Each structure stands twice: as C-alpha cells, then as structure tokens.
Amino acid sequence: MNQSLTFLGIESSCDDTAAAVVRWSDAGAEVLSSVVEGQAALHAPFGGVVPEIAARAHAERLDHAVEAALAQAGVPLAGLDGIAVTAGPGLIGGLLSGQMLARGLSAATGVPLISVNHLAGHALTPRLTDGIGFPYLMLLVSGGHCQFLAVEGPDQFRRLGSTIDDAPGEAFDKIAKLLALPQPGGPHVEREAALGDPKRFAFPRPLLDRPGCDLSFSGLKTAVLRARDEVIAQNGGLTVQDRRDLCAGFQAAVADVLAEKTRRALAAFPAPVLAVAGGVAANVVLRERLQVAAAQAGARFLAPPLRLCTDNGAMIAWAGIERHRAALPPEGGMAARSRWPLDESAAPLIGHGRRGAKA
Ligand code: AMP
Ligand code: MG
C-alpha cells in the first residue's frame, strides 16, 4: 500500500522559534520546509536566554514561522495529517505559546494534535536524516541538555548517563562570558582554543574517577574562572595568548570527558551506531574525539546536518510521525511541561531540584 504522512512541527521550548513540514512515505522521509528564527540577538545583551523575552518573541513570531513553513512546503493546513508540537521540557512561556497555536490550528481544521517531548525530537532525528533502525546510542550535547540515551523504539529511551549540573553548551557560553567573548560562546571558544596550548592549564576531568556515564561541567567552569583570576592577579590582565590557552585547556577537558564517557556508554550499550545532536556537536575537536571513540567500539558515527542537530521544527514533526506510525497515544491533551524526563524511570540526578528531574 502506498502510504504517506505529512506533519507540521512546531518548536518553541527555548530560544528558537521554529516550524517545519515533514513528509514520510514508503520512499523515505523528506523535510519539505524548515523555518528557524533564532533569538540570539535578543538575548545576547543579557549573556543568556531571558525567559520572558523568549516567551514574548515566540508569541509574536510563531504564526509567521508556521505560515512560512506551510508556504515553502506548498502544503495547505487542510493537507496535513497531523500537527506536532513540543510540550516540554523547556521554558514554560515559550512552550505555552507553541501549544496554544497548535491547539488553535487543530481545533480550527480538525487535524489531529500530537504533543512531543523535545528530547525525543532530538533523539529520533537520525532516523529522519539517515533512516537508521533501532537500537542506537544517542549523545545529546546542547545548551540545555547533556545525556546518553539508549534509543530502542519511538517511545523507548533509556538514560545511561547525564550531566548532574550544567550542560556543556552552557559551560562553553559561561567560559566565553568570563573571557569577554561574544554569545553564544561555543564557536568563539572553539576558535580561540585552536590557537591555544591545551596543556598550559591543568584543568580537572570531572567525574572520570567515578564509574558510570554521568557528567559534570560546573567544577570545570569554576577551575577556569580561578585560573583566569590568578593570571590577572599576577600580570594585571589577560593577554590574547592567555585567553587562547584558557579556551584550549577548557575544551581539551570537555573533549577528554565526553570521549571517555562515550566509550563507557558504548561498552554498557554496544549499539551499532553512535549519533550526536545538539549545538555543541558542531565543535570539530569534540566531533573528532567522538568519532574515534565510536570507531574503537566498532560503531558507526552519525552526526545529522547541524541545522537538524540544533533546535528545529522538523525533528518535532518527525517525532509526531513516529508516534503516529507506532500508534502511540497522541498525548494531545497534555499541558506544557517545563520538566519532562524522557526516561521517567531513571534515577533522579543530583541537583535536579525539588520538583524532580528536569530532563
Ligand atoms: P542548542 O542548545 O542545541 O541550540 O545549541 C546551542 C549551544 O551550542 C550553545 O550553548 C552554543 O554555545 C553551543 N555551541 C555552538 N557551536 C559550538 C561549538 N563550535 N563548540 C562548542 N559549543 C558550541
Ligand atoms: Mg537553541
């Protein structure tokens, strides 16, 4: 039977206002359009994402993003088989903007609404881009998340390890901030690091001395801050080379930790594929180290194109299609959830807060 499903995906959990149309058929999956309006310029003066500004920008721009995505795909609202929307985890104001728009569109057209977990969107992306089968190991390294997921089905995610404090992207951004580099800091820190000496500062490799795949980046950030202050106290300021060496030392520590924890995750879950997602996966040095770790374990390394690795609507549309195809409950009546772990059975993490694990 010749089957096809066309879904709209709406994403507004953090600082990207995104909408996309994805079509799945017997021939494979196709991203018909993907509109992402980043808010980096709005948040840059504050050195981080400001939830109220994000919520307002989503409310103002989401309908335009949806309109553009439908127009670029050449698909009318009535031509959709489903509307998938991120219900969490994320910033509640943005999530509510997306949910309200999606509910309104669904109510007006009768097109079914499917609520999607943002992390499921990231985790299922390698199936959209490369058509791989289950199982595989997913490493999510972004500005808000860091976890290893054993992906065994469209709704079967086992968390093997996770950060117990900061996400790596957050750490890159904080290092950039304390070295007066622009935001978002990741690419700037990488550029400086390429010109620095990674051995000059002996930064810690957090949690390598403990078994398992959990990660931590907060202590590393403090170590860089201390080293910076020591150099300033001794020399009265930072030279260009000091800054490069600090970046190089920091990045080398992150790379060592991620490579070793990936090795452990692949040993615990010997999957045929290691896939990465998240903005930090853009880092060439990190990518190379992960590739080596995968090769050593006999696994294929897969990094979807960056525009589908960072926050986007296509991954949400695709996660909706996956739920639909697997006849999973649409979770359409679900309210927005700022905290929504993919693996609800995983033990809560240190620093997860009083209301339970965030992601
Ligand atoms: P996301 O949360 O997936 O939207 O990704 C954004 C995060 O990725 C930000 O924290 C960026 O600083 C980080 N990032 C982007 N490019 C790089 C890079 N080349 N190296 C390290 N981090 C990066
Ligand atoms: Mg983002």
275-311 pLDDT, tens per residue? 999 999 999 999 999 999 999 999 999 999 999 999 9
Q: What is the mean pLDDT of residues 207-226?
A: 95
89 Cβ inside 6 Å of ligand 1: no
121 Cβ inside 6 Å of ligand 1: no
> Residues in the chain, how many?
359
Q: What is the mean pLDDT of residues 207-228?
A: 95
Return the pLDDT at 48: 77
Ligand 1 pocket mutation, candidates 14, 39, 172, 254, criterion most atoms within 8 A of CB: 172
Provide DSSP, 56-108: HHHHHHHHHHHHHHHHHHT--GGG-SEEEEEEESS-HHHHHHHHHHHHHHHHH
Is the Cβ–Cβ distance between 93 and 44 less than 8 Å? no
Statement: residue 267 has pLDDT above 60: yes
Confidence band, pLDDT 50/70/90 cuts, at residue 359: low
In the reported structure, the alpha carbon of residue 117 is separated from the centroid of ligand 1 by a whole-number distance in angstroms of 20
Statement: residue 355 has pLDDT above 70: no
Query: Nearest bound ligand to CA 173?
Result: 1
Q: What is the mean pLDDT of residues 8-32?
A: 96
Q: What is the mean pLDDT of residues 320-341?
A: 85
d(CA 165, CA 167): 7
The 10 Å Cβ neighbour count of residue 161 is 22
343 Cβ inside 6 Å of ligand 1: no
Confidence band, pLDDT 50/70/90 cuts, at residue 351: low
C-alpha distance from residue 28 to each of 16, 22, 128, 307 (Å): 27, 11, 8, 19
Ligand 1 pocket mutation, candidates 146, 170, 217, 280, criterion most atoms within 8 A of CB: 280
Q: How far apart are the first and last CA of the chain?
A: 39
Statement: residue 352 has pLDDT above 60: no
Statement: residue 93 has pLDDT above 60: yes
Is the Cβ–Cβ distance between 12 and 95 less than 8 Å? yes
190 Cβ inside 6 Å of ligand 1: yes
Query: Nearest bound ligand to CA 15?
Result: 2
Is the Cβ–Cβ distance between 9 and 308 less than 8 Å? no
Q: Are strands 4-11 and 16-25 parallel, antiparallel or unpaired?
A: antiparallel
Query: Nearest bound ligand to CA 283?
Result: 1
Confidence band, pLDDT 50/70/90 cuts, at residue 100: very high
Statement: residue 214 has pLDDT above 60: yes
149-172 pLDDT, tens per residue? 999 999 999 999 999 999 999 999
Q: What is the mean pLDDT of residues 201-218?
A: 95
The vertex-310 CA angle with 11 and 8, nearest 5°, equals 35
Return the pLDDT at 347: 67
3-class SS letters over 202-257 = CCCCCCCCCCCCCECCHHHHHHHHHHHHHHHHHHCCCCHHHHHHHHHHHHHHHHHH
d(CA 250, CA 296): 24
For residue 314, with 0-12 CB atoms within 10 Å meaning exposed, 13-18 middle and 19 or more buried, which class applies?
Answer: buried
Tally DSSP H helices, then E strands, for the chain. 11, 10
Q: What is the mean pLDDT of residues 45-52?
A: 84
Q: What is the mean pLDDT of residues 215-222?
A: 95
Statement: residue 354 has pLDDT above 70: no
Percent of the chain with pLDDT over 70: 95
Statement: residue 134 has pLDDT above 50: yes
Statement: residue 333 has pLDDT above 70: no
d(CA 87, CA 207): 32
- In terms of Cα–Cα distance, which of 140, 169, 263, 156 is closest to 148? 140
Describe the chain by its helix, strand, coil percentages, rounded to 5. 45, 20, 35
Return the pLDDT at 358: 55
**Dihedral Cα 300, 305, 309, 314, nearest 10 deg:** -120
Catalogue all structural domains in the chain, each as residue range(s) with its CATH number.
4-131+307-325 (3.30.420.40), 136-306 (3.30.420.40)
d(CA 53, CA 118): 20
In the reported structure, the alpha carbon of residue 141 is separated from the centroid of ligand 1 by a whole-number distance in angstroms of 8
Instruction: State pTM to two decimals.
Output: 0.92
Say how many CA atoms lie within 13 Å of 49 toward its Cβ. 23
Residues 6+ apart with CB under 8 A from 267: 297
Bridge partners, residue 34, by sequence: 20
More confident residue, 333 or 44: 44
In the reported structure, the alpha carbon of residue 282 is separated from the centroid of ligand 1 by a whole-number distance in angstroms of 7
Work out the mean pLDDT of the chain and round it to a whole number. 93
